[in-house]
Structure 1
Amino acid sequence: MATFLYKLGRSAFRRRRLVALLWVALLALAGVGAATAPAATSSSFSIPGTEAQRAFDLLEERFPGGSADGATARVVFEAPAGQTMKTPANKAKVEETVAALKASSDQVARVTDPYTAQAVSQDGRIAYVSVAYKVSGMELTEETRDALKEAGHSAQGQGLTVEIGGDALQSMPETGAGEIVGVVIAGIVLVITFGSLVAAGLPLLTAIIGVGIGVSTITALANVLDLGSTTSTLAMMIGLAVGIDYALFIVSRYRAELAEGREKEEAAGRAVGTAGSAVVFAGLTVVIALVGLAVVNIPMLTKMGFAAAGTVVIAVLIALTLIPALLGFAGDKVVGRRQRKGAAAGPEKQDKPNGGTRWARFVIRRPVFVLLVGVLGLGAIAVPAASLEMGLPDDGVKPVSATERRAYDLLSEGFGPGFNGPLLVVVDGGKATADKTVDTIKGLEGVVAVTPPTPNKAGDAAMITVIPKDRPSSVDTEGLVHDIRGATGDDVLVTGATAMNIDFSQKMNDALLPYLALVVGLAFLLLMVVFRSVLVPLKAALGFLLSVVAALGAVVAVFQWGWLGSLFGVEQTGPIMSMMPIFMVGVVFGLAMDYEVFLVTRMREAYVHGARPGEAIVTGFKHSARVVTAAAVIMIAVFSGFIGMDDQMIKMIGFGLAVAVLFDAFVVRMAIVPAVLALLGHKAWWLPKWLGRVLPNVDVEGEALAAGDHAGPQDPGGREKELVSA
C-alpha cells in the first residue's frame, strides 16, 4: 500500500500540470452537467415492507389519477373577536379566496369550499380551504407558490387572520451564512496550524473542488436517480469536512518530511505513502458506514448514503493526487517562516516538546484518572438519550414565526390536536367491508371522528379518514394506529403521514442493531488489518459507542427538552427525527475512525520501530495531536455552520455531528485512547500468531519506505514479530 501510494505521489508531483488539468476538467464537466440537467423533483418517500407503504401502493392501484403524492395546502381563516366565519362579509371573503385559488395555476387539481365540505369549526371561528395540486411540493413553480401566498394575503382584510399550512410552501433548503462562516473558521485554523497562507489554502481549495464535483454530479443526476432535496446538502456537509481533513494530513506530513531534509518530490511521495495510507483506510471506514445505510432498506436513506460516500471517495482521490500536484506548484511557500527558522536552528530546536508531547506525558502519568473523568463525563451527557422520542418533523415543530406553524396551531385549536395528523384507512373490499370497518373504528378509544367510506369507481376499495384525539406525534396516536390494525382484518390498511411516520420510526429501531453490527464488524476487521492488533480496534469501537450515545444525549437535551435551545435557534422542541440515531451511528463512526487511524498509526509506526509503549504514545501525539486537533476544530466548524439553516432536519444533523466530533476527538481519541493504551502497554499491540498469518500486511506505516526499498512491502522486523504471539 505505502509503496504504491509513494509512487503515485511522486508521479502526481512530477506531472502536476496534467493532474491539475484533469481535475479542473472534471469540475467543469460536472458543472456543465448540473447546469444543463432538468430540475430535480422531490424524492419519492417509500418504506418497503410496512403496512403504510402497502396501503399507499393500493391507493395508487385502485384510485388512479388521485394525485396521492401531490402537494397540499390549507388556507386557514380565523374570524376577528365577536364574529364567526359564517357572517356574510367573512363568507364572501372566503368564497373569493376559493375562486382565486382555482384560477391561480394550472397545477391546481382541486379546491374545496369550507362551507360545503364541513370545514368550519363548531364555534364558527375557524375555517380552512383545502388545495390539492397535481405535482409534488418540490415541482411547484414559484408562480404557483406566489399565487397561493397572494391569495392568503388578499384575504386578510376586515380583521381576518389568514395562515397557510401544508407542504405546498416547502422549497429547497437555502444555504445560509453559517456554512460560509464554517469555511472561514476552517481557513483561520489552517493558517494558525501551518503558519503559511499557501499551506492553509491548499486543503480549502482541494476540498471546494471535491465538493464542487460531488455536488454538481448529484445535481446532474438528481432527476434521473430521484434524489431528495437534502441529499446534496448532506453530501456537501460531509465532503467538505473530510476533504479539508484529508488534505490537511497530507500537507502536514509533507512539511514534516521537508523538515527532515528530503527533496520536495521525495517528500511528496513519502507524505502520500504514509499519511496517504491512513487517508485511504480512514476514507474506507467512512464509505463503509455510509454505504451500510442500505441495510435499512429505505430508498431515500440509501441514496443519501451513497451520494455522501461518493463525495468521500472524491475527497480521498483528490488528497492522493491533486494535493501532491499542488505542492509541486507551491514550492517553498508551503513552509511557513517559523518552520524555516526551526530547520535553520538545527534538530535540537525541532525536537523541542510541544503541546501534544506534554499532554501525552500527563495522560501516561495519570491514566486511571483521565480514563475515569472521560468516561464519567460522557456518561453524564449521555443520560438524556434514555428519554429519546423519535418521529418525523411536521409543521408543529416549526418556529411560531412561520405561517405553517400558525396554521397548524389554528387547526388544532378549532378542530382538535389530532386534526393535523389524520389517519387514512384503505379498505380492500366492497361496501359491506367498508361499513363494518367504520363501525369498528368508531368503537375504539381515542377516535374523534370517522368519515363515511369513499369508494373507488370499481367499487372494490374505499378510503376512510380517521381523526385521532391527540396530536400526531403523541404516544396515544401511535397506540390508536396499532389498535386499528389489531381490530381490523388483513384487508384493512392504515396509512397517511402519521402512520408513515410511526412505521418509519419502527423500521429505524429494528434496523439499528443489524446496521451497527455490520458497520462496526466490517470496520473492526479493517482496523485489525491497519493496526495488526485485536485490542486497539476493540477500544476504538467502544470509544465510538460512548461518544455517539453522548452526542445523542446532547441532541435530546437541546431539541427535545429545549436546554440551550435558543442558543442554537431551536424555537420549538419536539421528537428527534427518526433517522437521526442510525444516521449519526453511520456518519460519526466513519469520522471517529478517521481520528483513530491518523493518531494511532503514528503511535504504531513508532512502536514497530523500537519505541517503548509510553514513548510510542508520546511520539504519536507529538506528530499528530496538533494536526488532529486542527482537523477536529475544522470539522466542528463546518458542521456547526449548518445549525443556522432553517430546515429542522439539517439543523439537527449539523448539531449532532458537531458535538459528536467534539466528544470523540477531544475526549475519546485525545484522552481516553492514550489512557487505555498506557494501561495496556505491550498488550495493546498483541495479535494471535494464527491471525497474523491470515491478515494481509498492507504496510500502512511505510516500513518499506523507511527501509529504502520501494519495490514492495517488507517484514517490519523484530518488533513486528514480537507483536504476533500465541
Structure 2
Amino acid sequence: MTRLGRFVDRRRRWILAAWLLLLLAALPLSLRQQDELRLGGFISEGSQSDTVGDQLRDSFPSVPRNQLRVLLVGGEDSAPSDFRAAAGAAERAVGERENLTLRTEGAAGARRVGERRVAVLALEIQASYAKSLDISDELRTRFEGGAVGAGPVRAQLVGRTVYGATAQGLSRSGLAKAEAVGFPLVLVILLAVFGSLAAATLPVAMAITSVVVTGAVIFVLAQVTTMSVFVSSVASMVGIGVAVDYSLFMLARYREELLGGACRGEAWATMLATSGRTVAFSGVTVVVALASLWVIDNQGIRSVALGAITVVTVSVVTAVALLPVLIRSLGDRAVRPGRIRSLTGMVRAALARRGHPGSAGFWSRWARTVMAHPGAAITGSLAILLVLSLPLLAIELGDDSLRQIPADHEVRQGAALLERVGEAGAGSPVLVTVRFRRPPGRQDLGGVAARLRAQREVKRIEGPTVGGDGRTALIAATLAHDPESPQAKDLVRRLRAGALGQEGLAGRATVAVGGPTATAIDLVGLVSDNVWRLVVLILVLSYLVLVAVLRSLLLPLKAVVLTMFSLAASYGVLVAVFQWGWLDPLLGSESLGHVQAISVPVVLAVVFGLSMDYEIFLLRRIRERYEATGDSERAVAEGLERSAPVISSAALIMVTVFAVFVLTSLPGVKQIGLGNAVAIALDATLVRLVLVPASMCVLGRWNWWLPSPIERLLGGPRGRASAGARP
C-alpha cells in the first residue's frame, strides 16, 4: 500500500486524466445498460423445465416459443364490426414480421364481462425468450394506454414476455427514482458528519464513479451473457453504499491524523497504510461472500452476483486510487470545516454537556458500561434478534413474473381481465414432452393425453404432436387458472409425481413437465436445495479471510455466528412484511404469500460481506489499541471510541441507501433492499455496539489467540497482539 501511495502521489495528474477518460467512455454505455437486461435467466439447469425447453428447440422448431394475447375491449353495445376493425388495427400495429403471427379469428367471439365485451386474439412469437422480450417491449409501447383500436374498442397486450418487458421498464424507472432520492440523502448525512461540502462531496463522487463504471461493465457483459433485470438495482444499492462507506473511512482517518498533529503528507500516508489497507481487505471479504453465489447453478443469480462483485471491486479501486488523488489535490479544502460545521459543532457541544453520542468519550463510556454487564448485554441483544427471527420458521419461497408488476398497472389489469374471460392460462401452457426410445404408437400417446385432459385444472389441450425426430411427443395444456396460481403449481407437482402414468412408460419413455409454472417451481427448488451449501461456503470462506486479516481464531468465529443472528432477524422481517403482508399499506405493495426465491441468497451474500466489512474496521482499530496498550478492555473501549462514530455514520448511509430501494415497484428489489437495510441496521447497533464489546470482554485474552503454526503460516508475529495472544 505504501508503494501504491508513492505511485499515486507522483502521477496525480495522469491518474485524474485517466479516470476522467474512463468516465466519459463509460457514461453512454452505463445509460444503456437497462435496455440489455432480462427478466429471464432463472432457468434451472438440468431441471425438467430446462429439458422441455431444449426438446422444444431441437424437435419442434416450428412451435411458437412464446405466446401473447391481444384483448379487444369494448362497451356492452359495441358491434361485431367494431371488433373486426379493432382487430385490423391490432394487425397493423403488430406489422408484418416473419416471426410474428396474429390470429384475428377470435374477434368474432367477443364475450360479455360485466359492462364490457372482450375478444381474445392469439399472438405467436417464434423467437427466443430474450428476443421475444425485445419484441414485446416494442409492441407494449405501441399498445400502451389504449393507443391501438377502432372506435369504442381498444386493444390491450398481455402475456409472459409483456410482463417481463414491463418489469424491465419498472426497473429502469425505479432505479432512477432510488438514485434521485438516495444521493441527496447520502449527501445530507455526509454534510452532518464532516460539516464540509468538499469533504461530503468526495464520497458521493466516488459512488457516482463506481456506479457509472459498473454500469458500463454490465452493458458489456450483457452482450455475451444473460444479465438479470435485478442486476442494475442490486449493483447500484451495493455500489452507492460501499463506495460512500469506503470513502468515509478513508476521509475520517485522514482527518483524525490531521487533528492528532500530523502534517498533510503524514496524514495522507497513514490513511493509505491503515484505512487503505483495511478497505482492500474488506473489499476482498465482500467479493468472497458474493462469489459464493456461484454455488447456485443459475444464470440470473450469478449475474446479480457478478454485477455486485464488479461494483465492489470498482469501489475499492476508486477508494485507494482516485480518492487519495482528489484529497491530495484539494489540500485543506478536503477536510476544512465550513459553515455547516458551526451547526454540527453546536449540536455536539450540547450533546457533550448531556453525555450523548457525538460527545468526546461517549463511546468509550458506552463500551465500559456494556463490558461491566456482559451477561445482560449478550442475553438482551440475542433475545431481540431471536424474537425478530421467529417468522423465519414459516418462510415460503416463490417466484413470480406477473406479480412483480403493481396491481394498478394496466398490464396487471389486463391479466385480471383475461382471467375474468376464462382464459387465465392462455399463452402460458403447461408443456409435457414424452421422449420414447423408439417411435411411439397411437395408444402410447393417447394414454398420456387422456390423463392430462382429465386433470381438473386443465381447460383444453393441444396435441400430442410428434417432433421431427419421430420419438418426442409434445402436449400443451391450457389451464383455467393463472400460471402463477397455487392450482397451477399443484397440477405441475401432481403431473411430475406420476399423474401422467409414468410407471407404465418406465423403460420405454421419459416424461418431462415444463412451461412457465414449472420453471418457477424449479427455481424455488434449486434455491431451496442449495441455500444450505451457500451458507456453509460463505461461513467457511468468511471465517478463513477474517482469520488472515484479524490474526485470531475466536474473533472470526464470533463474527460469523453473530452475523447469522442478524441475517436470521432480517429474514424474519421479510416474512412478516412480504409473506404475511404486515406493511402492505405503508409500502404500497401486496402480500405475495411468499418471499421471492432470488432474495434469499442475494441478501445472504450481501449482508455477510458488508457485516464482515464493519467487523474488520472495528476490530482492526481495537487491535491497534491492544498492540499499543496490551490491555484488552482498554483496547475495546478506545477502539470503539475511535471507530464507532464512523461505523455508525457509514451504517446509517448504507441503511438509507438500501431503504430507498424499498420505494421501487418490483417486489424482488423491495425485498433485497429491506432485507439488507434491516440486517445492516441490526448489525451496526446490537451487534457492533453491544454484542462485540460484551463478547470480547468475556473472551479476554482469548480474543487474540492464534496458534504458533498458523501465526507462522500467516507471516509471523505482528506486534503485542500476536506476542501476547496466548491465554
TM value normalised by structure 1: 0.87
Deviation at 1:247, TM superposition (A): 0.9
Counterpart of 1:701?
A: none
Aligned equivalents of 1:566, 1:591: Cα separation in 2? 30
CA RMSD of aligned residues (A): 3.3
Deviation at 1:142, TM superposition (A): 6.3
Deviations 1:367-414 (A, max 9, x none): 222222221112112222222221112324533311222222233333
Aligned residues of 1:423 and 1:495 also touching (Cα < 8 A):
yes
Secondary structure class of the residue paired with 1:229: coil
Deviation at 1:54, TM superposition (A): 0.8
Aligned equivalents of 2:61, 2:16: Cα separation in 1? 53
Aligned residues of 2:31 and 2:215 also touching (Cα < 8 A):
no
Deviation at 1:189, TM superposition (A): 1.1
The partner residue of 2:120 within 128, 133, 138 is 128
1:560 is the counterpart of 2:579: yes
Secondary structure class of the residue paired with 2:421: helix
Counterpart of 2:685?
A: 666
Secondary structure class of the residue paired with 1:436: helix
Aligned equivalents of 2:599, 2:32: Cα separation in 1? 34
After TM superposition, the structure 1 stretch with the greater mean CA deviation from structure 2, 173-182 or 282-291, is 173-182
Deviation at 1:19, TM superposition (A): 2.0
Aligned residues of 1:206 and 1:323 also touching (Cα < 8 A):
yes
Deviations 1:666-689 (A, max 9, x none): 222222222211222222222233
Deviations 1:22-67 (A, max 9, x none): 2222222333655799963636553211111011011010112545
Secondary structure class of the residue paired with 1:265: helix
Deviations 1:452-487 (A, max 9, x none): 424445654333223456654455543432321232
The partner residue of 1:380 within 377, 387, 399 is 387
- Counterparts in 2 of 1:558 and 1:718: CA distance versus 1, 3 Å: closer
Aligned equivalents of 1:50, 1:154: Cα separation in 2? 42
The partner residue of 1:398 within 396, 405, 408 is 405
TM value normalised by structure 2: 0.87
Deviation at 1:261, TM superposition (A): 1.6
Counterpart of 2:718?
A: 716
- Counterparts in 2 of 1:156 and 1:290: CA distance versus 1, 3 Å: farther
Secondary structure class of the residue paired with 1:464: strand
Give 2:103's aligned amino acid.
Answer: T
Aligned equivalents of 2:424, 2:68: Cα separation in 1? 18
Counterpart of 1:223?
A: 223
Counterpart of 1:145?
A: 140
Counterpart of 2:640?
A: 621
Deviations 1:612-645 (A, max 9, x none): 2221111111111111111111111112222222
Counterpart of 2:193?
A: 193
Counterpart of 2:45?
A: 48
Aligned residues of 1:30 and 1:220 also touching (Cα < 8 A):
no
Aligned residues of 1:79 and 1:126 also touching (Cα < 8 A):
yes
Deviation at 1:692, TM superposition (A): 2.4
1:179 is the counterpart of 2:179: yes
Secondary structure class of the residue paired with 1:353: coil
Map 1:473-488 onto structure 2 (within 5 A): 473=484, 477-487=488-498, 488=502
Give 2:25's aligned amino acid.
Answer: L
Aligned residues of 1:397 and 1:572 also touching (Cα < 8 A):
no
- Counterparts in 2 of 1:365 and 1:119: CA distance versus 1, 3 Å: farther
Counterpart of 1:508?
A: 527
Deviation at 1:521, TM superposition (A): 0.5
- Counterparts in 2 of 1:506 and 1:719: CA distance versus 1, 3 Å: closer
Aligned equivalents of 1:417, 1:151: Cα separation in 2? 21
Map 1:396-545 onto structure 2 (within 5 A): 396=403, 398-415=405-422, 422-429=429-436, 430=440, 432=442, 433-444=444-455, 446-456=457-467, 459-468=470-479, 471-473=482-484, 477-487=488-498, 488=502, 489=505, 490-545=509-564
Aligned residues of 1:293 and 1:301 also touching (Cα < 8 A):
yes
Aligned equivalents of 2:330, 2:282: Cα separation in 1? 26
The partner residue of 1:60 within 54, 57, 61 is 57
Aligned residues of 1:10 and 1:266 also touching (Cα < 8 A):
no
Aligned equivalents of 1:637, 1:31: Cα separation in 2? 25
- Counterparts in 2 of 1:679 and 1:34: CA distance versus 1, 3 Å: closer
Give 1:537's aligned amino acid.
Answer: P
Counterpart of 1:704?
A: none
Deviations 1:180-235 (A, max 9, x none): 22111111111111122211111111221122111122223422333233323322
Deviations 1:346-371 (A, max 9, x none): xxx9x973432232222222222222
Structure 1's unaligned 5+ residue stretches are: 84-88, 698-714
Deviation at 1:156, TM superposition (A): 7.7
Residue identity over aligned pairs, in percent, reads 30
Map 1:583-594 onto structure 2 (within 5 A): 583-594=602-613
After TM superposition, the structure 1 stretch with the greater mean CA deviation from structure 2, 595-604 or 562-571, is 562-571
Aligned residues of 1:164 and 1:403 also touching (Cα < 8 A):
no
- Say how many residue pairs are matched: 690
Counterpart of 2:149?
A: 154
- Counterparts in 2 of 1:41 and 1:358: CA distance versus 1, 3 Å: closer
1:679 is the counterpart of 2:679: no
Counterpart of 1:18?
A: 14
Secondary structure class of the residue paired with 2:583: coil
Structure 2's unaligned 5+ residue stretches are: none
Counterpart of 1:711?
A: none
Give 2:644's aligned amino acid.
Answer: A
Aligned equivalents of 2:496, 2:381: Cα separation in 1? 47
Counterpart of 1:74?
A: 69
Counterpart of 1:86?
A: none
Aligned equivalents of 1:555, 1:672: Cα separation in 2? 23
After TM superposition, the structure 1 stretch with the greater mean CA deviation from structure 2, 394-403 or 251-260, is 394-403
Aligned equivalents of 2:715, 2:456: Cα separation in 1? 62
Counterpart of 1:211?
A: 211
Counterpart of 2:569?
A: 550
Aligned residues of 2:630 and 2:721 also touching (Cα < 8 A):
no
